[in-house]
Amino acid sequence: MKLQERLEILIQLGQYISAQSEEWQAAKQRAMQKNNWFVPQFVELAAGNIAQMFLQKQKLEQWVDHYKLDDNIIPKKAGIVMAGNIPLVGFHDFLAVFVSGHHQIIKQSSKDDVLLKHLADTMIEWNADVAHHVQFSETLKDCDAYITTGSDNSARYFEYYFGRYPSIIRKNRTSVAVLTGNETKAELNLLADDIMQYFGLGCRNVTQLYVPNDYDFVPLLNALRKYSWFFDHHKYRNNYDYQLAIYLMNNIFYMTNDCVVMIEAESPFSPIGTLHYQFYDDAGTMYKQLKNNDKIQAVVGANGLPFGAAQSPGLMDYADGVDVMRFLPGL
């Protein structure tokens, strides 16, 4: 397939996602039945962001022009190991390899093995040549390069097996927010989305707050109540209850709004149902420290991403800050 053909079919895919056909609705239903964390609100959010932020004609063309891509490429085989923490979390890797002109073999997580497969099969129905570019497999062998996403533990496994090949091996990451105490009610409502969407399972979810010493938590706790419906979700409620019991038994000071429990902790990684916070003396110093922290995916706040933007990455927003589109042409 020529580059222009690949772009045209991706634009068509964006229109397909937005059109909400019966086939696409059925695929989403299967995905939700298989993974209880994939509730309708968040499946729609993930798919809608892909359609609007990735698969628009102008955005795709600008992305391609930025890297000066053309048809002068010798296709290589890229193996992709995808995560399954949120719906379609591996789509950007799929998109990058497909646009680049390389061939890909995808190993999906069992937690998210319905949606992308359906979209790829739909593309193959439109153009059979897509099947030469996209394959799915339980094992990855004889690839020229690898892109993997997982935990720190799985990264050691990936480095052992794939480290001798050109590779991008991603580890645990999370996101944080730096607050001044002057945020408006509207900004706090948007921050609540950054924290709570996808139940806090994504690497772009804010799991740690940095606040001034005199910070008033009440307005934020009130803003977070928009997600009180999480208590109707048994998996989330079980996690919340478990973490709260630990804090009670260990006499740890906590705050809660019966939606999320907040504790002071150094780690930027917070368990499901918990939000960490720390106090700072100087915001500028805090930003410098966060900039050099390789565990931080994104920083939300006055000098970082706008509130509410954490879960809407664009084509140039690469996981772990590693530019996949610079990596692929060099294979």
What is the pLDDT at residue 193? 98
Residues with Cβ within 8 Å of residue 279, at least 6 apart in sequence? 210, 211, 212, 213, 215, 264
Average pLDDT along the chain, 331 residues, taken 10 residues at a time: 97 97 98 97 98 98 96 95 97 98 97 98 98 96 95 93 95 96 97 98 97 96 97 97 97 96 97 97 87 92 92 95 93 88
Strands (E), the chain: 77-81, 103-107, 134-136, 145-149, 167-170, 174-178, 206-212, 255-256, 261-264, 274-280, 296-301
Q: In this predicted structure, what is the pLDDT of residue 285?
A: 86
What's the confidence (pLDDT) of residue 39?
98
The confidence score (pLDDT) of residue 292 equals: 85
Residue that the structure tokens 């030469």 belong to: 132
pLDDT of residue 303: 84
Q: What is the pLDDT of residue 7?
A: 98
- State residue 261's pLDDT score: 98
pLDDT score at 258: 87
Supply the pLDDT for residue 329.
86
Q: What is the pLDDT of residue 291?
A: 84
Do residues 82 and 107 make contact, with C-beta atoms less than 8 angstroms apart? yes
Q: Quote the pLDDT of residue 169.
A: 96
All domains of the chain in start order, with CATH: 3-172 (3.40.605.10), 174-301 (3.40.309.10)
pLDDT confidence of residue 288: 85
φ, ψ of residue 110 to 5 degrees: the values are -65, -15
